[in-house]
Amino acid sequence: LSLILTWRNSCLTHHTTTCAPPVPVPLPTRLLNVTTDPPLLVEPTPGTLGAYLTLSHCWGPNPLITTTTSNLHRHSTTGLPLETLPPTFRDAILTTRALGHTLLWIDSLCILQDSRSDWAREAARMGSYFAECEIVLAAAHAAHSGEGLFRTRDAWGHQPWQGGVRMPGVAGESVPGKVRAWPAKEETVTLTREIGWDRGKAVRKGPLDGRAWTMQEGWLAQRVVRWEGFQVRWVCKGGEGCENWVGMREGEGAGEPWVRSLGGMGKGMERDLYMGWYRTVEEYTVRAITKQFDILPAIGGLASRFEELVQDRYVAGLWEGDLHQGLLWTVEGPIQPGEQRFRAPSWSWASVNLTSIKFGNIPKQEYSSWIKEWFAVDEVTTPLASANAYGEVDGGTLKARGYLRELKLAKPSVGGKVYGIRKNALLNPETGETLGTIFLDYPRLSTDPTLHVWCVPVMHAGKGTGTLSSVCLALVPTGSVESQEFKRVGLATITNKKWDQDFFPSDGKQSICIM
């Protein structure tokens, strides 16, 4: 704990331009008052300013204790005795006290878990809770709240002694150096000059880093203390430190990568910001989530922060001002099992159960040459399921004008294999000529013998890009083709050179609605 205080003081002293100073902020709806015995759940008067810590943790399959409408009064009056709390909560309370703080926010205790309205309201505020708290306590190594923050460990390698020395330099001159020493396991110890530091060996990811909800908790935080597999680590926006380093390493620390690198962006750099969002989604979608309908709420805090930077309209995980690129996602990983209820319109990456999503990386200098007047978005609507503008949606439509062409999907013939043509090939339905490749959102669709796809080009590699191809949305009608209502089933790339010459309908663009 003394080391954590040292890191905190160093941050407050040296990171005045990167880390926000701790100032009174609006308090969350509910908090644990850790100074009482037992701790009490309190509800500050709306608008009350103060300071608090938050806990970032994995719930595990069976949460040990939560606050509900039935026990809220008890938690607020008789309190939560420490002996009834799981180890992670208990350790977080003790740490909060030791750091001189009064208030602690824990999601499972401070949100009513059986009230959908309370959950929706608090989920919308969760990003600000983690962004505005003084320190996030992160149980990085724990798969559930029963494992605790603290753990018994071998002290070898965790408490270095630091001393100043002068050592031979590269050219023979004497230069300052540092010595780090640990209790020796051998009789002979060799001291070597520290050339650098190996962050990869010091930083250990744990279960917390594989969960969807916890991504924004760490990225939005000003300061994080992480209890990792074999040591404690400090991460803030100005740097990081851990037990087996001497001092604090200045430089990249906590926070959104697109804010760290682009915070001082100038006019004309919006493309870089949008690419930062797509990289964020790519990292987010490889994480696990228990309830698939939380896909949008769990990244909502990051979306809110991003909106401040890009000044654009958020539409079900994408941005209205960059839909030409945002629509071009592909499914790279296996689809996670889970409920199939509606979460997002089919044109959004959030419509599939959380899996690895990838976006095409079109170089900034070539972006304008990819866009042609082939696909025009007229209107996007995403009705919200609650007051949370970055949370669940009840529906979504994308009305656009484009060139619609029916193509044939190569079907398996013998043993599920396609002979003579590559897998997932798109064919000219009249000649059987291979035109390109389809990347299906749900791989099982490739075995559907009734599947016919309609492709609408969104972007095209024009002259000077070094390639000739079109990227298309692959659609299927939701009813009759004449109704012009479709849903997305994948993304297609057309590499046939005659595509833009011979295959566009002579009657021009058609108005379509993608659900």
Distance in angstroms (rounded) separating the CA atoms of residues 478 and 398: 14
Same domain, 240 and 308: no
Continuous H helices in 111-161: 116-132
In sequence order, what are the residues at sequence separation of 6 or more whose Cβ sits closer than 8 angstroms to the Cβ of residue 213? 289, 294, 298
Residue 180 lies in a domain: no
- The SS3 of residue 15 is coil
Same domain, 360 and 415: no
Distance (Å, rounded) from C-alpha 351 to C-alpha 344? 5
Domain C-terminal end among 338, 364, 390: 364
- Please give the torsion angle defined by the CA atoms of residues 224, 110, 20 and 275, in that order, rounded to the nearest 10 degrees: 70
Q: Is 286 exposed, middle or buried (0-12, 13-18, 19+ CB in 10 A)?
A: middle
CA-wise closest residue to 441 among 427, 428, 429, 451: 451
Of 318, 344, 364, the position where a domain reaches its end is 364
Residues 13 and 126 in one domain: yes
| Domains: count for the chain | 3
Of 430, 416, 437, the closest CA to residue 496 belongs to: 437
For 115, the 3-state DSSP assignment is coil
Residue 170 in any domain: the answer is: no
> Do 34 and 127 reside in the same domain of the chain?
yes
Residue 362 and residue 290 in contact, taking contact as beta carbons nearer than 8 Å? no
Q: What single DSSP character describes residue 251?
A: S
Residues 40, 146 within the same domain: yes
Q: Are residues 297 and 249 in the same domain?
A: no
156 contacts 185 by C-beta, under 8 angstroms = yes
Residue 134: strand, helix, or coil: coil
Could you tell me if 251 and 268 lie in one domain? no
Assess whether 463 and 403 both reside in one domain: yes
Taking the C-alpha atoms of residue 334 and residue 354, their distance in angstroms, rounded to an integer, is 9
**351 and 320 fall within a common domain:** yes
| Residue 453 to residue 475: CA distance in whole angstroms | 5
Tally of CA atoms within 13 A in the half-sphere of 445 that contains its CB: 19
Q: Is residue 310 part of a domain?
A: yes
pLDDT of residue 268: 55
81 belongs to a structural domain: yes
Which domain range does residue 319 map to? 262-364
Q: What predicted TM-score, i.e. pTM, was given to this entire model?
A: 0.85
Does residue 384 fall inside a structural domain?
no
Per-residue pLDDT of the chain (515 residues; tens, 9 = 90+): 888 988 999 898 888 888 888 899 999 999 999 999 999 999 999 999 999 999 999 998 877 799 999 999 999 999 999 999 999 999 999 999 999 999 999 999 999 999 999 999 999 999 999 999 999 999 999 999 999 998 776 655 555 555 555 555 545 555 555 555 545 544 454 444 443 445 555 556 789 999 999 999 999 999 999 999 878 999 998 888 888 776 677 766 655 555 554 444 444 566 778 988 999 999 999 999 988 999 999 999 999 989 988 899 999 999 999 999 999 999 987 766 555 678 999 999 999 988 899 997 666 656 666 666 678 999 999 999 998 999 999 999 999 999 888 888 876 544 444 444 456 888 887 888 888 888 888 876 666 666 778 999 898 765 555 555 788 999 999 987 678 999 999 999 888 766 666 666 666 788 999 99
Q: What are phi and psi of 365, to 5 degrees?
A: -70, -15
Query: Rounded to an integer, what distance in angstroms lies between the CA atom of residue 90 and that of residue 84?
Result: 9
CA distances from 29 to 45, 167, 222, 366, 437 (A): 8, 57, 20, 48, 51
Alpha-carbon distance of 499 to 508, in angstroms, equals 14
Q: What are phi and psi of 148, to 5 degrees?
A: 80, 170
Task: Let me know how long the chain is.
Answer: 515
Looking at the fold, whether 94 and 211 belong to one and the same domain comes out as yes
Give the separation between CA 33 and CA 38, rounded to whole angstroms. Answer: 9
Residue 93: CA count within 13 A, CB half-sphere: 24
Q: Is 249 helix (H, G, I), strand (E, B) or coil?
A: strand
User: Is residue 51 in a domain?
Assistant: yes
Identify whether residues 16 and 142 lie together within a single domain.
Answer: yes
Which residue, 228, 255, 282, sits at the end of a domain? 255
483 and 419 part of one domain: yes
pLDDT of residue 418: 46
293 assigned to some structural domain: yes
Strands, E assignment, 170-255: 174-181, 223-227, 232-236, 239-242, 249-250
pLDDT of residue 361: 62
Q: Is residue 92 part of a domain?
A: yes
Structure confidence at residue 263 (pLDDT): 45
Instruction: Name the residue among 280, 250, 249 with its Cα closest to residue 262.
Output: 280
Q: What are phi and psi of 393, to 5 degrees?
A: -120, 150
Q: What is the predicted pLDDT for the residue at 395?
A: 93
What pLDDT sits at residue 432?
80
